[in-house]
Chains A and B, each alone.
Chain A
Amino acid sequence: NAGVMQNPRHLVRRRGQEARLRCSPMKGHSHVYWYRQLPEEGLKFMVYLQKENIIDESGMPKERFSAEFPKEGPSILRIQQVVRGDSAAYFCASSPPQLSGANVLTFGAGSRLTVL
C-alpha cells in the first residue's frame, strides 16, 4: 500500500520559469492538503482540496500559485514565474474522506524547489 507519492523530489528552476509539483494521495484518500516549509521554519498550510474542488485556499499566495485535484490523476501545485523566495520544501498530505478533525494526515516525502 503505497503512501503519499510526490514528484519530483527535487526541482531546480530559474527565476521566471514555472514549477509543477505533483501529489498522488494514499489509496482510499480523497482529500489533499499542500504545505510549504521554508528553511528553518515550520509547515505553513497552503490549500485543501477534494476531487475537483478547492475547499480552503486561505494559505495560498494571491498571485502565481494555483492548485488542482482533477477527477483523474494527481493533485498539482503550480507556481508560475518563480522567484527566489519560492525556494522551499512543498509537502503534500492526504486523509480519508471522513470529516472530523481527528483524522491523521499522511505526508509525502516532499518536493524541494530551488530557484536560481
Chain B
Amino acid sequence: AQSVTQLGSHVSVSEGALVLLRCNYSSSVPPYLFWYVQYPNQGLQLLLKYTTGATLVKGINGFEAEFKKSETSFHLTKPSAHMSDAAEYFCAVSEPGGYNKLIFGAGTRLAVHP
C-alpha cells in the first residue's frame, strides 16, 4: 500500500529565506508525485507534479521539487519565501497506470514572518 510522510507539521521561515518542505513516500513501485497548496477555507491547488522524465520539476509561484528514487523523497523548495506563501502544503502520490486516486500526507503548515 502507498503512504506519504511529511516531516514537520509546522514550518516557520523568515521572508526571503529558503523554504524546504519534506515529503517521503512508501510504494512498491515508483509512484506519481504531487504537491498541492491549500489557502485558508479554500480547496487544493496543484503546485507541481512528477510523472516521468526530468526529476527536477518546476511549479507555480517559484516552487520546485526533486524526485529522488534512492531516498524515496520528493521535497518541495523555494529559494526565497514570500508572505503570500503562508498556507498548508500537501504531498500526494498516485499509482502509475491506475486511476487518479491520490493518497495525501498529513500536510505541513508554512508560516512566513517578516
Contacts and interface: CB of A to CB of B under 8 A. Distances in A.
Interface of A: 4, 31, 33, 35, 41-45, 48, 55-56, 91, 93, 95, 99-105, 107-110, 112
Nearest to B36: A107
A103 B96 CA distance: 10
A31 B102 CA distance: 13
A110 B39 CA distance: 12
A65 B14 CA distance: 44
Interface string B31-44: 11010100001111
9 contacts: A45-B102, A45-B104, A91-B43, A100-B96, A101-B51, A101-B97, A101-B98, A101-B100, A109-B41
Nearest to B90: A42
Contacts, number: 75
Interface of B: 31-32, 34, 36, 41-46, 49, 51, 90, 94-107
Contact of B99 (A35, A43, A44, A48): A48
Contacts of A95: 100
B43 A105 contact: no
Given A41-B106, A42-B106, A99 B46 contact: no
A100 B97 CA distance: 4
Contacts of A105: 100, 102
